[in-house]
Chain A
Amino acid sequence: MIVLSYLLIFIGCVALSLSMKRHFKQCYPQRRMPSLKNLFIFRIIGFTYLLLSTSIFIVEQGWGIGLVLWFGLLTIVAFLQSLLLTYKPQWIMPIGFIGLVGAVSYTNISL
């Protein structure tokens, strides 16, 4: 379950950074900036994934430890994300995609 939550946090971070103009440009330097409405959709997707991972932790580990774990993981994932955006922005979408596939298949296996 930790793996799944980790993936969800990562996907959430990718979506959130895509919702910001500066980081969208880093990921897609060639592409035209999406409209504000579309950026906002990315933001909603990002927060949804973060909420999803929080709820998994809380259901699995209880409020106390669940939240502590979630904050700890979010810290590290977001830190990695900020380094990726700076040094290897072209990796983000592939990693995010692999993460998404991983999360979906993990859910299928465990269900």
Chain B
Amino acid sequence: MNTNTQGNFRQSMKWLHTWAGIAVAIILYFMFVTGSAGYFNDEITYWMQPETPTVNNGIDQQSMMVLAEKRLAKVAPNATQWWVNFPIGREYALSIWWPEKTKIDADNDGKMDDEWHDEVLDLRTGEPIAVRKTGGGNTLYYMHYALHYIPSVLGYWLTSLCAMFMLIGLITGIVIHKQIFKDFFTFRAGKKQHSWRDMHNVLSVLPLPFHIMITYSGLLFLMFTTMPGVLTASYGPGEENRDRFYDAIYIQDAVHKDTVGIAANNISLSSVFPDVEQRWGKGQVSYIGIENRGDINAHIELGEVGYDGLESGRSLTYNAVNGDLQHASHGSKSSSAAMTFYNIMTMLHEGSFSGPLLRWLYFISGLMGAGMIATGMILWASKRRERADKKGFASNGLILIERLNVGTIVGLLIGIATYFWANRLLPVNFAERENWEIHSLFISWAATLAYPYMVAHKRSINKIWVDQLTIAAVLYGLLPVLNFLTTNVHLGNTLLSGNWVLAGFDLTMLVFSVCFAFSAYRMLAKEKKVMATLNTSNVKNSKMARNNTITTDKQVILPIEKVEL
């Protein structure tokens, strides 16, 4: 293939762009798709736990707190910490959680360790509600930087490496793009590989600020894993020195004291609410917790809900013995300019400050990123397919990538649809259901990757695209129907009650379904056209037709196919 690195600068950058991209395209595509879904992690989890109560009109936080505290006193009377999350902002349930000391490791000198428990509470009665176990949106989100089925540190390394390639791809892409501004709006349809290049350009250039930000900040996120040398150089090796570093960069609030072992009675958590509501207004608490419970150094911490600015919300800390306000923090604080930069970059990556509109913009930009990778992969194949068609044969590498492209681009999306299907179809009490949700994602993805090879001798690549796009359209299109059959939170109810989060999920699935169906339809039309021209050219050129069926050891001579949509 083209290994000309000695040509002019742009030529060598082009080479780098192509091969850096194609080398890690599958993982990058996976990261973009699951990461985009991660922008709606809480909303996806909410949909995947349909038992979550949906009514919270007119119940104020203090009375919720009283119920939560009653329940905590019952299930965790001796816990050293209590935490409560309110259904506000992007939280959709009143939930409590607490640690319990358990012996988790016999080898570790029988050391006691915290095991965390959690419950979702009914807002009216305060009784626990049995919500199904699910990986939810967080598993999708987690996979986009830690991957799955491999140790997480290896996952961090792999995703960091791919992000590095992505950064190379972006920079070389800018260098080789001759007319970024002139071609800003340019998309020419129906011109084979040129159309793919146009679409690749459009999907890369328009969200370029997003792409650069997301890649660069993604690298920053994992720098403590991938560049421990920097840390070791100034703080020395070993875990102790690393802790010293973390202490130095994350300001330890003076209010977060350790236990001293003197027992003391603590005030009730709900008793601080009048003071909090005076400061923040009613119903503004996102979480509340007590640490060092039962100790004289116990304190109560509350966080404010809010998206204002590129910093985290305000928090209040109260002394849990006498109820005095100990500390009021105004957003995130950092010790240095570098740390502020790091915080801003990571928050930009997560979009943690976004309201609904901005979250959608993030999601769409992320999907455009996935589209950029996908069109890059298709462009690679379609360029070589055109050349192969002229010569009359295609190399094994090209055929491999062509088939891999279908299984990757559509297959992963089929896998994610299967993940949602598994959530509704696996028995609610099935102990391993969290794991099997994810297994079903990867099993179906593996099947879609294998499918193009299994039917290779019967179906053309275009038909394989049609097959998988149709499967995707059916799976996404029937999700709201499945939801209707298995739960109460289907569109009929959610639209009527104005629950736009749950309704939005179902509607989004329908939109995806329509997109897949449309692509399948267009692809089918294309395939028919190709078949028609192939038939006439076969009559005219019998030599060509004969060539198409000859198979040699090294090179498979395939019928003329077009990969373009």
B188 contacts A86, CB within 8 Å?
yes
B368 contacts A65, CB within 8 Å?
no
A82 contacts B202, CB within 8 Å?
yes
Cβ of B435: which chain A residues have Cβ within 8 Å of it? Answer: none
A78 contacts B361, CB within 8 Å?
no
Whether A86 touches B206, Cβ cut-off 8 Å, given contacts A69-B357, A72-B358, A75-B365, is no
Judge whether B276 is part of the interface by a CB distance below 8 angstroms.
no
Roughly how many angstroms separate A68 CA and B352 CA in the complex, as a whole number? 12
Roughly how many angstroms separate A73 CA and B354 CA in the complex, as a whole number? 14
A68 contacts B364, CB within 8 Å?
no
B184 contacts A73, CB within 8 Å?
no
Roughly how many angstroms separate A74 CA and B185 CA in the complex, as a whole number? 12
Cβ of B344: which chain A residues have Cβ within 8 Å of it? Answer: 64
B353 contacts A2, CB within 8 Å?
no
Cβ of A68: which chain B residues have Cβ within 8 Å of it? Answer: 348, 358
Q: Mark A70-108, 1 if CB is under 8 A from B, else 0.
A: 011111101101110111000000000000000000000
Roughly how many angstroms separate A75 CA and B206 CA in the complex, as a whole number? 5
Residues in B191-222 with C-beta less than 8 Å from chain A: 202-203, 206-207, 209-210
B187 contacts A85, CB within 8 Å?
yes
Judge whether B178 is part of the interface by a CB distance below 8 angstroms.
no
User: Which of B182, B187, B210, B364 neighbours the largest number of chain A CB atoms within 10 Å of its CB?
Assistant: B187
Cβ of B207: which chain A residues have Cβ within 8 Å of it? Answer: 75
Tell me the nearest residue of chain A to B348, going by C-beta. Answer: A68
A72 contacts B187, CB within 8 Å?
no
Q: Mark A1-30, 1 if CB is under 8 A from B, else 0.
A: 010000000000100110010110000000
A86 contacts B189, CB within 8 Å?
yes
Q: How far is the CB of A88 from chain B (nearest CB, A)?
A: 12
Task: Point out the residue from A22, A65, A72, A83 that lies within 8 Å of B365, measured CB to CB.
Answer: A72
B309 contacts A23, CB within 8 Å?
no
Interface size of B by CB at 8 A reads 25
Judge whether A62 is part of the interface by a CB distance below 8 angstroms.
yes
Roughly how many angstroms separate A78 CA and B210 CA in the complex, as a whole number? 14
Judge whether B396 is part of the interface by a CB distance below 8 angstroms.
no
Task: Point out the residue from B185, B209, B309 that lies within 8 Å of A81, measured CB to CB.
Answer: B185
Roughly how many angstroms separate A86 CA and B202 CA in the complex, as a whole number? 12
Judge whether B310 is part of the interface by a CB distance below 8 angstroms.
yes
A65 contacts B186, CB within 8 Å?
no
Cβ of A73: which chain B residues have Cβ within 8 Å of it? Answer: 361
Q: Mark B397-424, 1 if CB is under 8 A from A, else 0.
A: 0000000000000000000000000000
B310 contacts A72, CB within 8 Å?
no
Cβ of A16: which chain B residues have Cβ within 8 Å of it? Answer: 184-185
Roughly how many angstroms separate A49 CA and B555 CA in the complex, as a whole number? 56
Tell me the nearest residue of chain B to A17, going by C-beta. Answer: B185
Whether A13 touches B309, Cβ cut-off 8 Å, given contacts A69-B361, A72-B210, A79-B206, is no
Tell me the nearest residue of chain B to A78, going by C-beta. Answer: B206
Cβ of B188: which chain A residues have Cβ within 8 Å of it? Answer: 86
A87 contacts B189, CB within 8 Å?
yes
Cβ of A20: which chain B residues have Cβ within 8 Å of it? Answer: 182, 185
Whether A64 touches B210, Cβ cut-off 8 Å, given contacts A72-B365, A73-B361, is no
Cβ of B353: which chain A residues have Cβ within 8 Å of it? Answer: 65
B187 contacts A82, CB within 8 Å?
yes
Cβ of A62: which chain B residues have Cβ within 8 Å of it? Answer: 309
Roughly how many angstroms separate A37 CA and B348 CA in the complex, as a whole number? 40
Judge whether B362 is part of the interface by a CB distance below 8 angstroms.
yes
Task: Point out the residue from B184, B185, B186, B364 that lies within 8 Å of A76, measured CB to CB.
Answer: B364
Cβ of A64: which chain B residues have Cβ within 8 Å of it? Answer: 309-310, 344
A75 contacts B189, CB within 8 Å?
no
A71 contacts B209, CB within 8 Å?
yes
B187 contacts A76, CB within 8 Å?
no
Roughly how many angstroms separate A83 CA and B195 CA in the complex, as a whole number? 12
Tell me the nearest residue of chain B to A14, going by C-beta. Answer: B185
Whether A79 touches B202, Cβ cut-off 8 Å, given contacts A72-B361, A72-B362, A86-B189, is yes
B189 contacts A22, CB within 8 Å?
no
Q: How far is the CB of A4 from chain B (nearest CB, A)?
A: 14
Roughly how many angstroms separate A83 CA and B203 CA in the complex, as a whole number? 12
Tell me the nearest residue of chain A to B190, going by C-beta. Answer: A86
Roughly how many angstroms separate A68 CA and B214 CA in the complex, as a whole number? 12
Q: How far is the CB of B375 from chain A (nearest CB, A)?
A: 13
Q: How far is the CB of B341 from chain A (nearest CB, A)?
A: 13
Tell me the nearest residue of chain A to B202, going by C-beta. Answer: A82
B189 contacts A79, CB within 8 Å?
no
Tell me the nearest residue of chain A to B360, going by C-beta. Answer: A72
A65 contacts B358, CB within 8 Å?
yes
Residues in A34-77 with C-beta less than 8 Å from chain B: 62, 64-65, 68-69, 71-76
User: Which of A2, A23, A81, A86 neighbours the largest number of chain B CB atoms within 10 Å of its CB?
Assistant: A86
Given contacts A16-B185, A72-B358, A85-B185, 12 further A-B contacts (CB under 8 A): A22-B186, A62-B309, A65-B309, A65-B353, A65-B358, A68-B348, A68-B358, A72-B365, A75-B207, A75-B361, A78-B184, A82-B187
29 contacts between A and B (CB under 8 A): A16-B185, A20-B185, A23-B185, A62-B309, A64-B309, A65-B310, A65-B353, A68-B358, A69-B357, A71-B209, A72-B210, A72-B358, A73-B361, A75-B207, A75-B210, A75-B364, A75-B365, A75-B368, A76-B364, A78-B184, A78-B185, A79-B206, A79-B368, A81-B185, A82-B184, A85-B186, A85-B187, A86-B188, A86-B189
For the complex of A and B, 7 pairs with smallest distance between CB atoms:
A72-B361, A64-B310, A82-B185, A75-B207, A71-B209, A82-B187, A75-B206
A residues whose Cβ falls under 8 Å from a Cβ of B: 2, 13, 16-17, 20, 22-23, 62, 64-65, 68-69, 71-76, 78-79, 81-83, 85-87
